[in-house]
């Protein structure tokens, strides 16, 4: 097992590092500070719904050399995933899993498609390290090191806001193990509430502007929350190639069915053979804790990345089911159900990686074409012709988003120009409106205007020429 890990991990890291930025990767805190006059203090203090100083400091580090992005991001996220896998194993052993069952839990966590939104991401440091610090917080609490628990829970919270869950999750798990010591649980709960109260007090004091409420995050009716719960459970426990059913361009129902057929016997076997475990207080506490970990996302905005929040706890629960299933094989790799499950994960992971790779390469090719066509000036405007293209999360990104709305030009160029980038969206038949708009922005100092239509990108003049020639 150890020899296989030594061989596999570097190969997986190389594959991950081949992915280029797309979509939110271009605008988040963990990009280089291209606007060199940025006040670092403004980014470190609470900003709107966020207070993520770890991400802000990482972005500052990348500013040393913009070419470190996104390589350093990938390395940091991958390290966090590997360390979280180690914590899954150690926590599993602490919770009385045998070595074999702990390895099943670890393999489930490491290869589960539920990890893809985070591990293949570039702007996902917050998710990866919030989970890692949270798992360490649980480990510390169960060891009776309560000061370390509070520290790690705070670090998780400063990485991402859902880290607040780890002030409560260790208490839930410990109480399931030993329900006699309710006074200790109540005392630690009060400590958690006091620290959280202090955290929010500091946020209010440091917040320079009025708190901005993003309706997309908080306008969540009951049906939407219920849908988010279903999505969380599905992503975590039903491995299927979602790329093959999400968009028309990547639709491949046979492949989706194959991955489902390979993975589900394993899950069914665990539930059937380990069904008595489903009523275990520890198992129930792990599943509730996983839901609590993802709770802030479920209550607001849930995407594929957010399934990662509870994945470590779900993986340990899977290990419990395995241990209590009375499986007699001498080694986990002789179990046909597990082998089929891991094969399904490998197919899904590879397909998602390939789609992510292609999306990133599309944005890079567009930027390189622009760099060959023009010498970028300080001010650039990008016009997008909305052809209603379909996309799926960060795996299948439309070319315009992969292009970073023009930001890719700066990154793949000198990291300086264009210093200011604006963008605007038009419908396919808005040629007259586009013309008037271009006339107006030229008076505002925009030296370069690009038009993106599908996967094609041209200067405005060349786009017009093609448009009229087509007529």
Q: What are 225-251's pLDDT values in tens digits?
A: 888 999 999 999 999 999 999 888 888
Structural domains counted in the chain? 2
Whether 66 and 197 map to the same domain: the answer is yes
List, in sequence order, every residue forming a beta bridge with 383; answer none if it has no partner: 424, 451
Q: How far is CA 281 from the centre of its chain?
A: 30
At residue 188, the pLDDT reads 93
Domain boundary among 356, 373, 399: 356
Domain boundary among 356, 385, 401: 356
Q: What is the mean pLDDT of the chain?
A: 90
Describe the crossing of helices 311-323 and 253-273 by its angle, rounded to 10 degrees.
60
Whether 343 and 308 map to the same domain: the answer is yes
DSSP state of 414: T
Task: State the Cα–Cα distance between residues 383 and 46, nearest whole angstrom.
Answer: 33
Q: Is the CB of residue 49 less than 8 Å from the CB of residue 212?
A: yes
Whether 376 and 445 map to the same domain: the answer is yes
Whether 10 and 94 map to the same domain: the answer is yes
Task: State the Cα–Cα distance between residues 461 and 97, nearest whole angstrom.
Answer: 66
β-pair type (448-453, 456-459): antiparallel
Residue 414 contacts by C-beta under 8 Å, 6 or more apart in sequence?
none
Task: State the Cα–Cα distance between residues 88 and 94, nearest whole angstrom.
Answer: 10
The kind and range of the H/E element at 4 are helix 2-17
Whether 128 and 20 map to the same domain: the answer is yes
Q: How do residues 434-468 score in pLDDT, each as one tens digit?
A: 888 888 887 788 888 999 998 899 998 888 887 76
Residue 403: which of 368, 438, 441 has the closest Cα?
368
At residue 161, the pLDDT reads 93
Whether 288 and 364 map to the same domain: the answer is no
Whether 277 and 423 map to the same domain: the answer is no
Describe the crossing of helices 71-94 and 2-17 by its angle, rounded to 10 degrees.
150
Whether 377 and 344 map to the same domain: the answer is no
Task: State the Cα–Cα distance between residues 451 and 364, nearest whole angstrom.
Answer: 16
The kind and range of the H/E element at 135 are helix 125-142
Average pLDDT over residues 355-382: 94
Q: Which domain holds residue 456?
A: 359-470
Whether 127 and 178 map to the same domain: the answer is yes
At residue 132, the pLDDT reads 98
At residue 184, the pLDDT reads 85
At residue 7, the pLDDT reads 82
Q: How do residues 264-323 score in pLDDT, each as one tens digit?
A: 999 999 999 988 999 999 999 999 999 999 999 998 888 899 999 999 999 999 999 999
Lowest average pLDDT, out of 190-194, 371-375, 427-431, goes to 427-431
Whether 411 and 306 map to the same domain: the answer is no
Q: How do residues 18-48 score in pLDDT, each as one tens digit?
A: 999 999 999 888 999 876 556 677 778 887 6
Q: How do residues 181-216 score in pLDDT, each as one tens digit?
A: 788 889 999 999 999 999 999 988 887 554 545 555
Whether 47 and 70 map to the same domain: the answer is yes
Report residue 38 as tokens.
């940025």
Whether 318 and 369 map to the same domain: the answer is no
Q: Annotate 64-90 with DSSP letters as a single string.
A: T-GGGTTHHHHHHHHHHHHHHHHHHHH
Domain boundary among 356, 382, 405: 356
């Amino acid at each position: 097992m150890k020899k296989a890990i030594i061989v596999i991990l570097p190969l997986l890291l190389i594959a991950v590092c081949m992915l280029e930025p797309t979509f939110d990767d271009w605008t988040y805190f963990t990009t280089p500070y291209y606007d060199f006059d940025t006040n670092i203090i403004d980014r470190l203090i609470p900003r709107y719904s966020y207070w993520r100083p770890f991400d802000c400091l990482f972005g500052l580090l990348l500013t040393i050399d913009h070419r470190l992005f996104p390589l350093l991001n990938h390395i940091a996220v991958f390290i966090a995933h590997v360390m979280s896998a180690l914590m899954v194993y150690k926590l599993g052993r602490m919770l009385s899993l045998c070595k074999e069952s702990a390895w099943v839990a670890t393999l489930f966590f490491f290869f589960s498609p539920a990890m893809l939104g985070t591990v293949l991401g570039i702007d996902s440091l917050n998710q990866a390290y919030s989970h890692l610090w949270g798992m360490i917080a649980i480990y510390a609490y169960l060891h009776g090191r309560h000061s370390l628990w509070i520290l790690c829970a705070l670090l998780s919270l400063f990485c991402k806001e859902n880290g607040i869950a780890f002030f409560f999750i260790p208490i839930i798990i410990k109480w399931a193990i030993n329900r006699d010591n309710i006074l200790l649980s109540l005392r630690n709960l009060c400590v958690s509430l006091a620290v959280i109260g202090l955290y929010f007090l500091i946020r209010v004091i440091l917040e320079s502007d009025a708190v901005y409420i993003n309706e997309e995050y908080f306008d969540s009716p009951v049906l939407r929350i219920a849908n988010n719960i279903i999505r969380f459970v599905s992503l975590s426990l039903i491995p299927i190639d979602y790329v093959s059913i999400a968009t028309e361009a990547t639709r491949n129902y046979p492949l989706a069915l194959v991955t489902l057929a390979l993975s589900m016997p394993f899950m069914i076997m665990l539930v059937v053979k380990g069904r008595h475990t489903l009523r275990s207080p520890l198992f129930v506490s792990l599943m509730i804790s996983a839901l609590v970990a993802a709770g802030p996302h479920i209550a607001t905005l849930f995407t594929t990345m957010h399934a990662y929040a509870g994945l470590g706890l779900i993986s340990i629960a899977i290990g419990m089911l395995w241990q209590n299933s009375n499986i007699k094989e001498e080694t986990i790799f002789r179990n046909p159900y597990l082998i089929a499950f891991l094969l399904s994960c490998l197919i899904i992971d590879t397909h998602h990686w390939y789609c992510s790779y292609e999306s990133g390469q599309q944005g890079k090719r567009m930027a390189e074409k622009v760099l060959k066509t023009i010498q970028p000036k300080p001010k650039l405007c990008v016009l997008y012709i909305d052809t209603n293209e379909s996309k799926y999360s960060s795996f299948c990104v439309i070319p315009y988003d992969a292009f970073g709305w023009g930001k890719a030009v700066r990154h793949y160029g000198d990291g300086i120009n264009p210093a200011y980038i604006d963008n605007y969206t038009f419908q396919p038949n808005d040629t007259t409106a586009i013309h008037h708009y271009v006339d107006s922005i030229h008076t505002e100092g925009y030296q370069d205007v690009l038009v993106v239509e599908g996967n094609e990108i041209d200067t405005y003049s060349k786009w017009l020429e093609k448009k009229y020639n087509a007529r």
